[in-house]
Amino acid sequence: MVDSLTLQPVALVNGTVNLPGSKSVSNRALLLAALAEGTTTLTNLLDSDDVRHMLNALQALGVSYQLSDDRTTCKVDGVGGPLVASKPLELFLGNAGTAMRPLAAALCLGSNDVVLTGEPRMKERPIGHLVDALRQGGAQIDYLEQTDYPPLRLRGGFRGGDVTVDGSVSSQFLTALLMDGPFGRTGHPYPYQGRTGFQAVH
């Protein structure tokens, strides 16, 4: 067995590297595209379970999209407002926190009756701070099993206003509320007050 290995420095490296997308950014972008007016083209999406669960949920909610064969480019036909389910739905989101948290907020905007659930591990991931903040804005949310954890039943009602959120558990709580704010029925985005722990940019 070799005790050591010496690597000689390379004088020049030249090429193109295509880094995979982020699941958090991919799912936030998909949801924003669904809420927006017109068609949005998203490139360099991450092909992952989280993104697949988000796409399946958007499709169940009536959002049309065209996904490339390699699943990295998606054209989303936005609905131009809140996502409204045409009938009571149960959306299974696996262990995709990047889908559970923003969808929990977005589905409080319309007159919905939607259950968000997932794998057993998802039911151990706290969501209470986000639910508390959404309830401050008028959202009707019920815990179906354990308090502060999914699964959740969402029945709309979010109107905006002054909302305080503790984002120290996850920055996804804050971004979920920021995406809701412009659609609040108060007619203006609500001010954010509270604590948050932002993730470092890699």
CA distance linking residue 151 with residue 115, whole number of Å: 7
Could you give all domains of the chain from N- to C-terminal order, each with its CATH number?
Answer: 21-80 (3.30.1370), 107-202 (3.65.10.10)
Nearest to 43 by CA among 75, 73, 65: 73
Share of the chain above pLDDT 70, in %: 90
Could you tell me the pTM of the whole model? 0.83
Predicted pLDDT of residue 196 = 42
50 three-state secondary structure? helix
122 three-state secondary structure? helix
Mean pLDDT of 57-82: 96
Tokens for 149?
Answer: 């954890």
pLDDT in tens, 166-202: 767 778 888 888 888 788 766 444 444 444 444 433 2
Partners of 74 in beta bridges: 42, 67
